[in-house]
């Protein structure tokens, strides 16, 4: 099975690579459209700022390539944000797979939301075998609204989409690559979709 990780100017790609290697998978990190299209699975990770990340994708036409992918795609953190329609971060128009807006947390509590938290819902094969008390690791100052594509929620200041699903696109706000056994199982489930 060929796994491709989208290469662009967003961090955390190495952590995702190591998490996949622990599962026995050696991914290719690429910004080549043909390699992304030919992959069996595509992972769209990232830590960064939405407008500059989106500009990088557009410069390489990767926004169009990603939107047209037919195989299972997993967005992680900013990957989730960029798969949405719009982000308040940098007033950014994004790829638009999920018809959700990404909003800035109001500073009623510590922002960014950082650390371990539970997520509820789990109405997807992505979460097969995940215990109800399972925790995942979050680091983010922006969040996706809940809506029809929401398959898991977390509550921090306000309820938000911890995970989204539309057709062949999946996305998680948390970092499975940093979420221990729970995260490893989510990545393994994604590879089996």
Q: What is the 3-state secondary structure (H, E, C) of the chain?
A: CCEEEECCCCCCHHHHHHHHHHCCCCCEEECCHHHHHHCCEEEECCCCCHHHHHHHHHHCCHHHHHHHCCCCEEEECHHHHHHEEEECCCCEECCCCEEEEEEECCCCCCCCEEEEEECECCCCHHHCCCCCCCEEEEEECEEECCCCCEEEEEEECEEEEEEEEECCEEEECCCHHHCHHHHHHHHHHHHHC
Q: Which tens digits make up the pLDDT trace of 93-148?
A: 999 999 999 999 987 778 889 999 999 987 799 999 998 877 999 999 999 999 99
- List 49, 77, 84, 140, catalytic entry: 77
CATH of the domain at 134: 3.40.50.880
56 is catalytic: no
Q: Which tens digits make up the pLDDT trace of 136-184?
A: 999 999 999 999 999 999 999 899 999 999 999 999 999 999 999 999 9
pTM above 0.85, yes or no: yes
* Residue 171 domain boundaries: 3-192
Structural domains of the chain, count: 1
Tokens of 55: 């500009």
Higher confidence at residue 111 or residue 24? 24
- List 49, 89, 145, 177, catalytic entry: 177
175 is catalytic: yes
140 is catalytic: no
């Amino acid at each position: 099975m060929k796994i491709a990780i989208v290469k662009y100017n967003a961090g955390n790609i190495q952590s995702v690579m190591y998490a996949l290697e622990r599962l026995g998978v050696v991914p290719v990190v690429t910004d080549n459209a043909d390699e992304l299209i030919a992959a069996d699975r595509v992972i769209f990770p990232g830590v960064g700022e939405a407008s500059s990340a989106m500009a990088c994708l557009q410069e390489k036409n990767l926004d169009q390539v990603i939107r047209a992918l037919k195989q299972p795609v997993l967005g992680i953190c900013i990957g989730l944000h960029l798969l949405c329609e719009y982000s308040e971060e940098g007033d950014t128009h994004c790829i638009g797979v999920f018809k959700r807006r990404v909003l800035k947390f109001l500073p009623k509590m510590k922002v960014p939301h950082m650390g371990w938290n539970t997520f509820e819902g789990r109405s997807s094969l992505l979460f097969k075998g995940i215990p109800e008390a399972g925790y995942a690791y979050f680091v983010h100052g922006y969040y996706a609204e809940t809506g029809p594509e929401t398959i898991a929620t977390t509550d921090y200041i306000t309820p938000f989409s911890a995970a989204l699903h539309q057709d062949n696109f999946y996305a998680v706000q948390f970092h499975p690559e940093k979420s221990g056994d729970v995260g490893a199982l989510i990545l393994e489930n994604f590879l089996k979709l």
